[in-house]
């Protein structure tokens, strides 16, 4: 076994036909039994296998055996960003962080251009091979474990996702900009050694993504260039329209902040590369139209209402926990 997570277990294995080492991921039964997940798994595995990019792990095979869904990928010898952060904390060189984020951004652009969202950007999915060659893994495997599903089930807050975009929490339409938001969170954690809003406890951590001031990496790590503050703030903007239009643009901005690149504009003007499902949800709306303005206002009102609903849900959940604790204590006293 190499690793395990919510979606499944990854094993080091051997492909018998070609006698080569591979990484074999077995999807946990909870998802394998879900027909909607199975169908999407088949479709998105084909798309992932078709992505030919140096920062995307090649997919060799995917399918089902004995009722178990599996995906076979190139075995990457090295480490992952989660292990690197655990080992070095807030001491990873800013230039190295920027290069890693640039590679992840390039991988995301390749996926977004094919209409695929990643949905599960996190340090453990960023693999680092020799000479710091970066691979992004687990494309398309997280549909049934989206942040919205993890955070809300039947309007009840059950968990906190560290990289969740505000629109995911509110169960609004999601596009490539949710991945860009998560990449901004990853940049923050790689620089500081802790995820955004790490000091906010309980369900309030999720609400912090909705309306709290954006985290500033230089406040935690004063030695890094201040340019990273602006990059994180824009990448993690509450409104999707205020974020970088592409993950590649974010990566180039990180290189500029690190002093590795003089200007992000040298690679061309900023623009979205996403198509299909990954394309911006409001991409067809004219920014100057009165209809567009009214829709933006309506969306902002809806988002505010969604935040209030979540606050009430968390408050009620807290009161329930307190009540349960009091009942348990009284019950304990009565039995003495």
Residues 6+ positions from 33 with CB-CB distance below 8 Å: none
Structure tokens at 73: 């990928």
CB 23 within 8 A of CB 8: no
Residues 6+ positions from 297 with CB-CB distance below 8 Å: none
- Is 132 one of the catalytic residues? no
CB 231 within 8 A of CB 187: yes
The DSSP element (H or E) to which 191 belongs, if any, is helix 176-192
C-alpha separations of 284 from 114, 180, 288 in Å = 18, 20, 12
Mean pLDDT in residue range 309-331? 45
Task: Quote the pTM value.
Answer: 0.79
- pLDDT tens for 43-62 read 888 888 889 999 999 999 99
Q: How confident is the model at residue 331 (pLDDT cuts 50, 70, 90)?
A: very low
- pLDDT tens for 226-272 read 999 999 999 999 999 999 999 999 999 999 999 998 876 666 789 99
Structure tokens at 190: 């790689």
Q: How confident is the model at residue 127 (pLDDT cuts 50, 70, 90)?
A: very high
The DSSP element (H or E) to which 209 belongs, if any, is helix 204-211
pLDDT score for 214: 96
The DSSP element (H or E) to which 105 belongs, if any, is helix 94-113
Q: What is the mean pLDDT of the chain?
A: 81
Write down how long the chain is.
Answer: 336
Residue 159 in this model has a pLDDT that exceeds 50: no
Residue 328: CA count within 13 A, CB half-sphere = 6
- pLDDT tens for 184-227 read 999 999 999 999 998 876 567 778 999 999 999 999 999 999 99
Buried b (16+ CB within 10 A) or exposed e, 230-257: ebbbbbbbbebeebbbbbbbbbbbbbbb
Q: How confident is the model at residue 139 (pLDDT cuts 50, 70, 90)?
A: confident
Residues 6+ positions from 28 with CB-CB distance below 8 Å: 6, 7, 8, 9
Mean pLDDT in residue range 96-119? 95
pLDDT score for 203: 61
Which among 6, 80, 109, 120 is annotated as catalytic?
120
The Cα 63–Cα 41 span in angstroms is 9
The DSSP element (H or E) to which 39 belongs, if any, is helix 35-50
- pLDDT tens for 216-235 read 999 999 999 999 999 999 99
């Amino acid at each position: 076994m190499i690793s395990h997570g919510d979606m499944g277990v990854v094993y080091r294995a051997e492909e018998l036909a070609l006698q080569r080492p591979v990484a074999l991921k077995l999807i946990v039964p909870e998802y394998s039994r879900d027909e909607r997940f199975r169908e999407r798994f088949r479709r998105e595995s084909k798309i992932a296998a078709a992505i030919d990019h140096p920062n995307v792990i090649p997919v060799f095979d995917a399918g089902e055996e004995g009722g178990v869904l599996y995906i076979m990928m190139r075995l990457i010898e090295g480490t992952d960003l989660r292990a690197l952060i655990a080992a070095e904390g807030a001491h990873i060189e800013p230039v190295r962080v920027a290069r890693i984020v640039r590679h992840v951004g390039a991988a995301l652009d390749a996926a977004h251009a094919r209409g695929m969202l990643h949905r599960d950007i996190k340090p453990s999915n960023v693999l680092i091979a020799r000479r710091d060659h970066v691979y992004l893994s687990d494309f398309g495997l997280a549909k049934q474990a989206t942040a919205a599903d993890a955070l809300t089930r039947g309007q009840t807050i059950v968990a906190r996702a560290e990289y969740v975009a505000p629109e995911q929490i509110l169960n609004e339409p999601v596009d490539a900009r949710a991945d860009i938001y998560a990449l901004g969170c990853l940049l923050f954690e790689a620089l500081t050694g802790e995820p955004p809003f790490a000091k906010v406890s309980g369900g309030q951590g999720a609400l912090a993504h909705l309306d709290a001031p954006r985290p500033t990496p230089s406040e935690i790590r004063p030695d890094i260039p201040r340019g990273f503050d602006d990059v994180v703030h824009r990448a993690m903007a509450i409104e999707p329209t205020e974020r970088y239009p592409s993950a590649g643009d974010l990566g180039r901005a990180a290189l500029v902040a690190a002093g590795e690149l003089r200007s992000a504009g040298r690679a061309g003007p900023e623009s979205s590369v996403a198509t299909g499902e990954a394309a911006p949800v409001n991409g067809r709306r004219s920014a100057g139209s009165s209809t567009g303005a009214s829709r933006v206002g309506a969306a902002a009102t809806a988002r505010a209402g969604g935040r209030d609903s979540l606050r009430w849900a968390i408050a009620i959940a807290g009161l329930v926990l307190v009540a349960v604790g009091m009942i348990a204590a009284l019950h304990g006293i009565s039995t003495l």
